[in-house]
C-alpha cells in the first residue's frame, strides 16, 4: 500500500484533555469560515457544554459548522442541548445504526469511532480524545490517559476532504460538496527523506480502506531497525501483526508494548493476557499502565515514525469501525511522544514477567487458542450476515433529515472526490 505523503507540516503533541480542549477551543474562537467535527462521544457535561458554548458563539459569527457524532457513543444529549446548537445554525449529524432484531442487530457494532476536527481547512486535530470530562485528571482515578495531534500544513487538506466525505451521506446537499481547492492534487507517494514534517492521512472504512491502518502498523514493524514502542488501549490484533512483533523482537529490535493495567472494561485485560505468553517468550516487553485507564492509540518506531489516531488494535477498530489516523515522519514529534511514553513506563507501569504468568499446559494452550480465534474472527463472520443500512440522522435548523446508506458504502467516495 502506497501512502500519499504531504510535506512541510507542523505538529503539536497534545496529551490528555488538559492540552487538547484548550487547543481546540482556541482554534474554534479564531475560525472564519468552516468547522468540521467528528467525535464518537459527546457528553452533556463540563467539557461538552464548553464545546457547545464555543460552537454556538462561532456559528453566530457566520461560520459554517457541521458536528457529527456516533449514535451509540453520544446517545443521551438533551433536546435543550441540541436546540441551542441548532438555533445558532450548527448542523448536527448522528451516525446512527437502525435498531433491528435478530442477527441483523449484530451489524449495529459498526461505529463512527473517529475523532477529527478541521478548522477553516487549515488547522486539524486527530487522535483518541472525545469530548467528555473523563479525559481530564480532575475526573479522578477513572480519567483516561490519551493523546491527540494538532496539525497545520498540506495534510490538513486530506483531513478536510475526508471529513466532507463523512457528512456527504448526512446532509441533503452533501453529494454536491467538493473538497477544498488543491485537495485533489496527488502528493508524492515516495518515502520522505529526510524524515521531517511529512504526514499521511490513513483511515479504515467498510469500502476501499478496510485494512489500511493495520497495514501501516505492520509495514513499520517489519522495517524497524532498533525500536518499536506501542501504547494501545485495546490490544487484541490479528496473528499477522502479532507475528510481525515477535519476529522483530527475535531479530534484535527492542519491542515494547504499553497496555491497560487498570482497564475501564475487565474483559480488556483478560483478552490481552491471552497473548502474553507468546509475546514475552519471544522477548517482547509488555508493560501494564496502572495509574488509570489507558485510552491512547499511538506508536513510535525507530527515530522518526509515529502514528496517532482513533484506531485501537482490536477486532472492532481493525474490522468494523470507521477510524482515522495519521502517519508522521518527524524526529521532533517522535522524540516528544517517546519521552511521554517513557515517563509512563518509569512512573506508572509494571513490566509483565514470564515467571509471574500462569504455567502453560496443553489445556490452557487449547483454550487460549480457541478463545483467540473466536474473538478475532467474529467481526469477519459478521460480514456474511445480511447487510443492513446505516442511518444518518441530521438535525438541521429546518427539521430532521434521515438518510440511509449500505454499511459497505458508509465511507464511499462521493462525486468530486478521489
> Which are the contacts of 416, defined by CB distance < 8 A and separation ≥ 6?
176, 177, 178, 179
Distance CA 183, CA 197 (A): 18
- pLDDT digits 0-9 by tens, 143-187: 999 999 999 999 999 999 999 988 887 665 544 444 444 444 344
Residue 130 pLDDT grade (very low, low, confident, very high; cuts 50, 70, 90): very high
pLDDT at 174: 46
- Average pLDDT for the chain: 84
Residue scoring higher pLDDT (409 or 242): 242
Q: Would the pLDDT of 105 be above 70? A: no
Distance CA 325, CA 414 (A): 21
Q: Would the pLDDT of 408 be above 50? A: yes
Q: Would the pLDDT of 409 be above 80? A: no
Output the pTM of the full model: 0.88
Contact 35, 164 (CB under 8 A): no
Distance CA 24, CA 276 (A): 38
Distance CA 390, CA 408 (A): 9
- pLDDT digits 0-9 by tens, 33-68: 999 999 999 999 999 999 999 999 999 999 999 999
Tell me what percent of the residues of the chain surpass a pLDDT of 70.
76
Residue 363 pLDDT grade (very low, low, confident, very high; cuts 50, 70, 90): low
Average pLDDT for 119-128? 98
Integer CA distances (angstroms), 155 to 3, 19, 67, 90, in order = 12, 22, 21, 25
Radius of gyration of the chain (CA): 21
Which positions are catalytic? 113, 115, 120, 295, 297, 302
Distance CA 183, CA 181 (A): 6
Contact 123, 156 (CB under 8 A): yes
- pLDDT digits 0-9 by tens, 227-280: 999 999 999 888 899 999 999 999 999 999 999 987 655 555 566 667 888 899
Domains and CATH numbers, the chain: 10-357+386-409 (3.30.870.10)
Residue scoring higher pLDDT (353 or 36): 36
pLDDT at 274: 74
Average pLDDT for 109-135? 95
Phi, psi (rounded to 5 degrees) for 67: -115, 115
Amino acid at each position: 500500500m502506497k501512502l500519499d505523503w504531504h510535506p512541510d507540516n507542523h505538529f503539536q503533541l497534545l496529551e490528555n484533555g488538559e492540552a487538547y480542549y484548550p487547543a481546540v477551543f482556541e482554534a474554534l474562537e479564531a475560525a472564519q469560515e468552516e468547522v468540521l467535527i467528528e467525535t464518537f462521544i459527546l457528553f452533556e457535561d463540563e467539557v461538552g457544554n464548553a464545546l457547545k458554548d464555543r460552537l454556538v458563539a462561532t456559528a453566530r459569527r457566520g461560520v459554517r459548522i457541521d458536528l457529527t457524532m456516533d449514535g451509540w457513543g453520544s446517545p443521551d444529549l438533551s433536546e435543550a442541548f441540541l436546540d441551542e446548537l441548532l438555533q445558532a445554525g450548527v448542523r448536527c449529524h448522528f451516525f446512527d445504526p437502525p435498531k433491528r432484531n435478530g442477527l441483523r442487530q449484530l451489524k449495529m457494532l459498526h461505529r463512527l469511532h473517529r475523532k477529527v476536527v478541521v478548522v477553516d481547512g487549515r488547522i486539524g486535530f486527530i487522535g483518541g480524545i472525545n469530548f467528555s470530562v473523563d479525559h481530564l485528571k480532575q475526573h479522578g482515578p477513572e480519567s483516561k490517559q490519551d493523546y491527540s495531534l494538532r496539525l497545520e500544513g498540506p495534510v490538513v487538506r486530506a483531513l478536510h476532504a475526508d471529513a466532507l466525505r463523512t457528512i456527504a451521506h448526512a446532509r441533503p446537499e452533501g453529494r454536491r460538496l467538493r473538497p477544498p481547492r488543491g485537495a485533489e492534487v496527488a502528493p508524492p507517494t515516495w518515502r520522505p527523506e529526510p524524515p521531517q514534517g511529512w504526514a499521511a492521512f490513513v483511515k479504515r472504512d467498510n469500502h476501499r480502506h478496510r485494512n489500511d491502518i493495520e497495514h501501516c502498523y505492520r509495514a513499520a514493524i517489519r522495517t524497524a531497525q532498533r525500536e518499536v514502542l506501542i501504547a494501545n488501549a485495546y490490544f487484541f490484533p490479528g496473528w499477522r501483526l502479532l507475528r510481525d512483533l515477535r519476529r522483530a523482537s527475535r531479530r534484535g529490535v527492542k519491542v515494547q508494548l504499553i497496555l491497560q493495567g487498570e482497564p475501564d472494561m475487565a474483559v480488556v485485560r483478560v483478552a490481552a493476557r491471552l497473548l502474553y505468553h507468546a509475546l514475552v517468550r519471544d522477548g517482547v516487553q509488555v508493560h501494564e499502565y496502572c495509574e488509570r485507564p489507558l485510552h491512547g492509540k499511538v506508536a513510535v518506531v525507530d527515530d522518526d515514525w509515529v502514528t496517532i489516531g482513533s484506531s485501537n488494535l482490536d477486532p472492532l477498530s481493525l474490522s468494523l469501525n470507521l477510524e482515522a489516523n495519521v502517519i508522521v515522519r518527524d524526529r521532533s514529534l517522535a522524540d516528544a511522544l517517546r519521552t511521554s511514553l517513557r515517563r509512563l513506563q518509569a512512573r506508572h507501569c509494571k513490566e509483565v514477567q514470564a515467571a509471574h504468568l500462569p504455567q502453560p499446559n496443553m489445556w490452557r494452550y487449547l483454550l487460549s487458542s480457541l478463545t483467540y480465534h473466536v474473538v478475532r474472527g467474529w467481526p469477519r463472520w459478521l460480514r456474511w450476515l445480511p447487510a443492513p443500512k446505516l442511518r444518518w440522522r441530521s438535525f438541521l435548523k429546518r427539521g430532521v433529515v434521515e438518510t440511509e446508506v449500505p454499511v459497505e458504502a458508509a465511507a464511499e467516495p462521493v462525486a468530486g472526490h478521489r
